[in-house]
Amino acid sequence: MNRIMRWAKEWVAPLGLAVIISFSFNTYVAQGMKVPTGSMLPTIQLDDKVFVEKMVALTDFKFGDIVVFYPPLKGEEDKRYIKRLIGLPGDTIEVKDGALYRNGEKVDEPYVKEQMKYQFGPVQVPEGKYLFLGDNRNDSLDSHLWPTPFVDKSKLVGKAMFRYYPFDQFGEIK
């Protein structure tokens, strides 16, 4: 009995602290995520696992970042989506003649392998909101199909930083 008590005194506090730190890290700092769809093909494959930095308040989101967020869709509010950030607050976004235009300028998108087969916009992104498109533009449930094309900053989960699975694809996501 004495040996058990000694073991408990030695290990319970460190193990409890480890659980608290792990939970806090996963909740507030960073988290792994499995990609559930092919909407980001060819950049991210179906079932890839990515590391998401979750410190949204400290993150400076930029055009082209790959971001995880909760979509503005009825019935999908609890699902996490992963898409490319296309429109920042104040930007005007348009898809015409198979190309993306941001603030009137045609955008070079080497990560998009197929010309877009739809028209969208022009729309101006409101303050505190963002607009997202999947890299697999013609087969992605994203801003161009949503009744409200904008995602509120409060719905952002974080920025996808790198892929950690499959191992042969380990590295930064661009």
Q: CATH number, domain at 122?
A: 2.10.109.10
Whether 51 is in a domain gets the answer yes
Quote the tokens at residue 155.
């719905």
First to last CA, the chain: 57
Catalytic positions are 39, 83
- Residue-by-residue pLDDT tens, the chain, 174 positions: 677 777 767 776 666 666 666 655 555 555 778 888 889 999 988 899 988 887 766 678 999 999 999 999 888 888 999 999 999 999 999 999 999 999 999 999 999 988 999 999 899 999 999 999 999 999 999 999 999 999 999 999 999 988 988 888 888 887
Q: How many CA atoms lie within 13 A of 60 on its CB side?
A: 0
Task: Give the domain range for residue 73.
Answer: 31-172
Number of domains comprising the chain: 1
Omega cis (within 30) before 122: yes
pTM passes above 0.75: yes
Distance CA 120, CA 96 (A): 7
Whether 22 is in a domain gets the answer no
Sequence-distant (6+) residues with CB within 8 A of 173 are 43, 44, 50, 66, 160, 161, 162, 163
Closest alpha carbon to 66 in 105, 109, 104: 109
